[in-house]
Amino acid sequence: MESMITAVIFDMDGVIADSEYFNVKAKHLILKRAGIEVDWHYHDKFLGTTHEYMWTEMKKEFESLDKEVLYYIDQWVKTRKELIDQEGLKPMPGVVDLIRTLKEKGFHLAVASSSLKEDIMTNMNTFGITDCFEAFISGSECENGKPDPEIFQKAAE
């Protein structure tokens, strides 16, 4: 019996790239610079959300975050890049082989991630799997962030 599944949509952070640690650590450091101490698990509520949503919500919660949202996004991107450059980003165990196997078997593959498009492409190039995918959809290309299905619907197109 032939499989009815013909396509697979991957998230990037925590699925393809072992990057959640860097995402959270960068946020944690920026908050610390602003005099804000939070528990490491504080960041869990922002997993999978857009940067705009995350920083907008944190600005509402913490008065000492007194700059524009775009400033904090820029700081987060720079801090995260520095951390990754220092420590090195790796793919999740087994995912590169899985992606290559699915591609060889004729599956249509896409990435749907809340991450910035630049980060998605950098990671796919670093892992040597860019050519396995037919589409890369970033949260910035969608009006609604996760858990809204818009990003996955765009990837499925």
Q: Identify the pLDDT of residue 3.
A: 66
Q: 82-86, 134-138, 144-148: which range is least confident on average? A: 144-148
Residues of the domain holding 73:
20-87
Q: Is residue 74 part of a domain?
A: yes
pLDDT in tens, 107-126: 999 999 988 898 899 999 99
Does residue 127 surpass a pLDDT of 60? yes
On whether the pTM is more than 0.85, the answer is no
Q: CA geometry: angle at 107 spanning 16 and 101, to 5°?
A: 60
Inter-residue contact 127 to 16 (CB < 8 Å): yes
Q: Is residue 2 part of a domain?
A: no
Inter-residue contact 95 to 124 (CB < 8 Å): no
Does residue 146 surpass a pLDDT of 80? no
Domain count, the chain: 2
- pLDDT range class, residue 1, cuts 50, 70, 90: low
CA torsion angle 128 129 135 140 (round to 10): -50
SS3 string of 53-121? HHHHHHHHHCCCCCCCHHHHHHHHHHHHHHHHHHHCCCECCCHHHHHHHHHHCCCEEEEEECCCHHHHH
Q: Which residue has the higher pLDDT, 40 or 48?
A: 40
pLDDT in tens, 48-72: 788 889 999 999 999 999 999 999 9
Q: Identify the pLDDT of residue 35.
A: 96
Answer yes or no: do 74 and 121 share one domain: no
Does residue 90 surpass a pLDDT of 70? yes
C-alpha neighbours within 13 Å on the C-beta side of residue 16: 29
CATH number at residue 105: 3.40.50.1000
Answer yes or no: do 100 and 152 share one domain: yes
Does residue 131 surpass a pLDDT of 70? yes
Distance CA 11, CA 13 (A): 6
> What Cα–Cα distance (Å) separates residue 112 from each residue in 25, 81, 133, 157?
22, 21, 11, 12
